[in-house]
Amino acid sequence: MDINETLHSIAEVAVTLVGFAAVFRAFRGQKIDPHSGPRVLGVIEIGLFLVLLCYLPSALLTAGVSDGAVYRGLSGVAALYWIRWVVIALSISRVRQPTPVIYGVFSVLAAALTAAGAANALGALARPGFVYLGIAVATLAQVGLTFLAQFRAESVVAEPSSL
């Protein structure tokens, strides 16, 4: 299985998580926790961004762009994107006390993704395709963690009304 096939499989999983998050949001309506909005939007936004990151290399490679340029360039795009999420996660953790564990994990993972993307974009790492694949897998893990946190929050909110 080559890198692009693996990226396509990652995109399929991301689309599934995005779809489930949207369905949870649609069916819960106004009965959701006010803090769950950023989590749902996070799953949807990061998941869609991941789908773009997974399918774009195939299109660029088909257009004749070299492997190194594709994976290094898109790693730079991912690094810029993750800088934004580092700031968001840190601002949420400063506002909400006590800080939920998911935001701490999110901050650390987003910072690591930013560093890996920047290092790959600058050519500091060998085998840019595999580093890019690692960034995609870690981003999928982030989407999954955020989805699980959202699912847990939704089930905690739903329990008191069922009693």
Q: Which two tokens stand for residue 22?
A: 């949207």
The residue extents of the domains of the chain are 3-26+36-157
Q: Average pLDDT of each block of 10 consecutive residues along the chain (163 residues)? A: 91 92 73 66 88 95 94 93 80 64 75 90 90 91 82 61 47
The rounded mean pLDDT for the chain is 82
3-state secondary structure the chain: CCHHHHHHHHHHHHHHHHHHHHHHHHHHHHHCCCCHHHHHHHHHHHHHHHHHHHHHHHHHHHCCCCHHHHHHHHHHHHHHHHHHHHHHHHHHHHHCCCCCHHHHHHHHHHHHHHHHHHHHHCCCCCCHHHHHHHHHHHHHHHHHHHHHHHHHHHHHHHHHHHC
Check residue 71 and give its pLDDT.
94
pTM: 0.81
Check residue 28 and give its pLDDT.
67
Check residue 60 and give its pLDDT.
95
pLDDT digits (tens, 9 = 90+) for 21-31: 888 777 766 66
Check residue 36 and give its pLDDT.
67
